[in-house]
Amino acid sequence: MAAAAAAATNLSPLSKNPSPKRPREECGVVGIYGDPEASRLCYLALHALQHRGQEGAGIVSVHGGLLHSVTGVGLVSDVFNESKLAQLPGDSAIGHVRYSTAGASMLKNVQPFVAGYRFGSIGVAHNGNLVNYQSLRAHLEDNGSIFNTSSDTEVVLHLIAISKARPFFLRIVEACEKLEGAYSMVFLTEDKLVAVRDPFGFRPLVMGRRSNGAVVFASETCALDLIEATYEREVYPGEVLVVDKDGVQSLCLMPHPEPKSCIFEHIYFALPNSVVFGRVVAALGYAAKAGVAFQQGLIRSHYVGRTFIEPSQKIRDFGVKLKLSPVRAVLEGKRVVVVDDSIVRGTTSSKIVRLIKEAGAKEVHMRIASPPIIGSCYYGVDTPSSEELISNRMSVEEIREFIGSDSLAFLPLDSLTKLLGSDSPNFCYACFSGKYPVEPTGKVKRVGDSVDDGLIGSIESIDGVWVQGTRVQEGKGDSKQKMEEEKVSL
């Protein structure tokens, strides 16, 4: 009897396609106060956060009461070199890597943004998406504000500029109180670094310190590790942290009884070396529980950049073949279980199934380590509109047929919440449940079209664990029985 091999795939979101095949994080932010190498450390931290955004990068530093800015389109290594970093003196800096959704991907939308106002200058780097952006912008424009970008972050600068609160950082607090949706932001002024996280805490933001006392904020702890800053704690949902020569001061934006951190940060985006749950890679967990061999059936190329030259003649599955190479020696003649993190539109999964079958696999069984995605995200994750999400249109069995696998199963939502235990109420699951913690107003994507309409298929819980669609093929009488043996929990 052939042993089943579990193959993990985790494609990097390096495509320029504006309608993603996989959910994509939009941004990463970093802020450093009190280190003579601030901009260089920012640069290194942005490298560590590169997986959170590849379309643009920027750093703003402060020196002699002036803000200095370098931004550019492309990867961190494309934007910065020695001479660019030399243009960023000072002992405090903020940085940003971005992927675009709110706002087109053009140079003037690359952050951090810098604005001058009556009493000085301010720089801002934002991770998240403001759901009331359009109504705020319309109101500001009615009152004479002129916008330079199509980014929602620019409204924050306008709200700070029109605030009359004193001292200055209270303007930031006042502006943030008008914002709805997701924001983890760092601000830089002539003498302060300010970090803010929205009251729901949709997007992450952590705080650390270097041995020389420099304070560091970053989207993920992997950025702290790279620049040898010790992790201290999260910036709490609804917290404003002001750092200046007098130290760190914490203010509360507005208390919120139940935070709603993005569950996707934990199950998909964050690098395994970042502090999140410390759980095992899904494919390893599956293989261990199922008692089957885990083997790398697909090898991912780490050298595929964002742009490549397409052949003039159509080669089937060109893009996927470029990123993933099947290992024929592992796959040939085997019944293969592929463990993947999500299915968005189904196109990538169908190509992976075909690739593995073409490499000689007898059967391909897909297991998805998250529930079906039925709703679009409005809080800073780049998912397609609800109509494009395959789980919003098809049952599990229809999706299985579409991707061409021999069976397909998703992790049900209640199993995911069970895994999280008592922490489960503190997460946002809107893209799986259609229940949005903050309803968007004047939104970019449509909302309300993502409510579960029964199309996600019969919820057939296997040992209370998997939502499954299984095809029993003629002549494969023992397949079903074998798959029954493989029903395991993550």
By CB under 6 A, tell whether 361 contacts ligand SF4. no
- Is 262 annotated as belonging to a binding site? yes
Q: Which is nearer to ligand SF4, 125 or 377 (CB)?
A: 377
80: Cβ contacts below 8 Å, ≥ 6 apart: 43, 57, 59, 70, 72
Residue in the block written with tokens 């919820």: 459
Judged by CB under 6 A, the residue of 33, 187, 236, 264 near ligand SF4 is: 264
How far apart CA 379 and CA 372 sit, in angstroms, is 18
Count the neighbouring beta carbons within 10 Å of the beta carbon of residue 38.
28
Judged by CB under 6 A, the residue of 263, 282, 396, 408 near ligand SF4 is: 263
Q: How do the residues of the chain divide into helix, strand and coil, expressed in percent and rounded to 5?
A: 30, 25, 45
Size of the site for ligand SF4 (CB under 6 A): 11
| CB 286, CB 279: distance < 8 Å | no
Backbone angles phi, psi at 280, to 5 degrees: -75, 155
How far apart CA 190 and CA 69 sit, in angstroms, is 13
- Is 431 annotated as belonging to a binding site? yes
Written as six digits, the tokens of 456 are: 């996600």
By CB under 6 A, tell whether 262 contacts ligand SF4. yes
| CB 409, CB 368: distance < 8 Å | yes
How far apart CA 269 and CA 22 sit, in angstroms, is 11
Contacting ligand SF4 within 114-173 (CB under 6 A): none
Judged by CB under 6 A, the residue of 243, 361, 377, 399 near ligand SF4 is: 377
- Is 377 annotated as belonging to a binding site? yes
By CB under 6 A, tell whether 381 contacts ligand SF4. yes
Contacting ligand SF4 within 242-261 (CB under 6 A): none
Q: What is the CA radius of gyration of the chain?
A: 24
- Is 222 annotated as belonging to a binding site? no
Shortest reach from residue 488's CB to ligand SF4, in Å = 25
Known catalytic residue: 42? no
Shortest reach from residue 24's CB to ligand SF4, in Å = 10
> What is the Cβ-side half-sphere exposure of residue 209, based on CA atoms within 13 angstroms?
8
By CB under 6 A, tell whether 292 contacts ligand SF4. no
By CB under 6 A, tell whether 179 contacts ligand SF4. no
Which of 27, 42, 176, 222 is labelled catalytic? 27
By CB under 6 A, tell whether 438 contacts ligand SF4. no
**CA 111: distance to chain centroid?**
17
Q: Which is nearer to ligand SF4, 35 or 180 (CB)?
A: 180
By CB under 6 A, tell whether 286 contacts ligand SF4. no
By CB under 6 A, tell whether 202 contacts ligand SF4. yes
The dihedral formed by the CA atoms of 337, 342, 343 and 347, expressed in degrees to the nearest 10: -80
By CB under 6 A, tell whether 200 contacts ligand SF4. no
Dihedral class, residue 355 (left if φ above 0, else alpha if ψ from -120 to 50, else beta): alpha
Q: Which stretch binds ligand SF4 (CB under 6 A): 373-381, 447-455, 460-468, 476-484?
A: 373-381
| CB 238, CB 179: distance < 8 Å | no
31 DSSP β-pair partners = 94, 217
Judged by CB under 6 A, the residue of 80, 133, 294, 379 near ligand SF4 is: 379
By CB under 6 A, tell whether 410 contacts ligand SF4. no
Written as six digits, the tokens of 95 are: 């940085």
By CB under 6 A, tell whether 428 contacts ligand SF4. yes
Q: Which stretch binds ligand SF4 (CB under 6 A): 140-148, 183-191, 212-220, 374-382?
A: 374-382
Q: Which is nearer to ligand SF4, 48 or 428 (CB)?
A: 428
Count the neighbouring beta carbons within 10 Å of the beta carbon of residue 458.
11
By CB under 6 A, tell whether 431 contacts ligand SF4. yes
Residues near ligand SF4 (CB under 6 A) are 202, 262-264, 377, 379, 381, 428-431
Annotated binding site: 262, 377, 428, 431
Task: Give the active site residues.
Answer: 27
